[in-house]
Amino acid sequence: MKNSSILIIKCTICGVILDFENCLFDDRYGYPGCFDLYKCSSCGHRIINIEFTPAQLTELYTDYYPRASYDVTKFKAAEGSRGFCAWLSGVGRSAYLWVPENVKVLDIGCGFGETLAYHKARGCDVYGVEVDENIRKVADMYVFNVHVGQFTPDQYEPEFFDYVTLDQVVEHVCAPIKTLQGVAKVLKPGGLAILSLPNSNGWGARLFGSRWINWHAPYHLHHFSEQSMRIAALNAGLCIDSVRTVTSSEWLHYQWNHMLMYPRMGEPSIFWSPKAKRSLRDKLVLGILSVIHRTKLNHLVTRLFDVLGIGDNYLFFLRKT
């Protein structure tokens, strides 16, 4: 909770003293507690002020994050993105889709390995890193080269990869500059790191406030601005090659569901959590919102804000200098 008379929190990126902005809670899976959000007046970076013990982190992602029920028999490779329909849906918001064929690529935070299968089918020499132990099921079955645990550059030869991707990952890590320094170490000179991450400076956070779906406390610890990413990249030996906002149209559909089924603190969301029971009213709301989504109104709104550069999802392309 906020205690401005005692706490002095400094920006992880530029070192300026942060200003308290809001108090957030886990409005998806019901992890207990309220978490302070701070913002830097200099570089625009935002952080959730919390330090988890290893035991707490294990509990957070094992007991609350809905991954343990994954069925390995339903594994399916990620798909490519082509044509007008893919553009309209915002499929290009994923970092893996910007990696060319026949390159050496590392996917940090590879989830259940769908992207590893995608790259492998395109002639890439592909490696993955994932902290979730459930990846072992897939890696063993499909013979993927995956390190289970935290990413450290010492696992690989220096200047080993042409591309490194972090899809919705860097906002989860405790020390983002250290992570980017590791990425730079394993990238070849001129190699590219591609990062996708939520944009807390976009239209969604401004309109929906504390109920914006991508605050995702306490899982998202860092919220970058273009300026804070520029500073972090520079400190890691990288530079921003380009930046854009490309957002999945599904996100706006999720946002409406999130707003209409917003939970109380400490309770799992009826929309997000597989543990929550849905009433007839809940199912009716979900059905109506699904029909609206099929009209493509969410798609058109999402594409408009991406064109304006204030969409909900950043894509950063960081070049090793």
Tokens of 166: 């972090």
Asked if 260 contacts 285 with a C-beta cutoff of 8 angstroms, the reply is: yes
Burial of 73 (0-12, 13-18, 19+ CB in 10 A): exposed
Q: For the segment 1-49, what is each residue's pLDDT rounded down to a tens digit?
A: 444 445 789 999 999 999 999 999 999 999 999 999 999 999 999 999 8
Q: Please tell me the predicted confidence (pLDDT) of residue 23.
A: 96
In angstroms, the first-to-last Cα distance of the chain is: 41
Ordered domains of the chain (ranges, CATH): 19-320 (3.40.50.150)
* Residue 114: alpha-carbon gap to chain centroid: 16
For the chain, residues with pLDDT lower than 70 are: 1-6, 67-71, 274-275
Give the position of tokens 């897939």: 138
Beta strands at 104-108 and 125-130: parallel, antiparallel or unpaired: parallel
Strand order through the sheet with 222-223? 19-25, 34-39, 46-48, 222-223
Q: What pTM, to 2 d.p., does this model score?
A: 0.93
- CA distances from residue 18 to 47, 96, 205, 304 in whole angstroms, order as listed: 9, 33, 19, 32
d(C-alpha 104, C-alpha 15), whole Å: 35
Q: Please tell me the predicted confidence (pLDDT) of residue 141.
A: 86
Q: Please tell me the predicted confidence (pLDDT) of residue 140.
A: 87
- 302: β partners: none
Asked if 315 contacts 95 with a C-beta cutoff of 8 angstroms, the reply is: yes
Asked if 108 contacts 172 with a C-beta cutoff of 8 angstroms, the reply is: no
If you write DSSP's letter for every residue of 224-249 in order, what string do you get? --HHHHHHHHHHTTEEEEEEEE---H
Comparing CA positions, the residue from 140, 142, 141, 116 lying closest to residue 129 is: 116
Q: Please tell me the predicted confidence (pLDDT) of residue 59.
A: 76
Beta strands at 46-48 and 34-39: parallel, antiparallel or unpaired: antiparallel
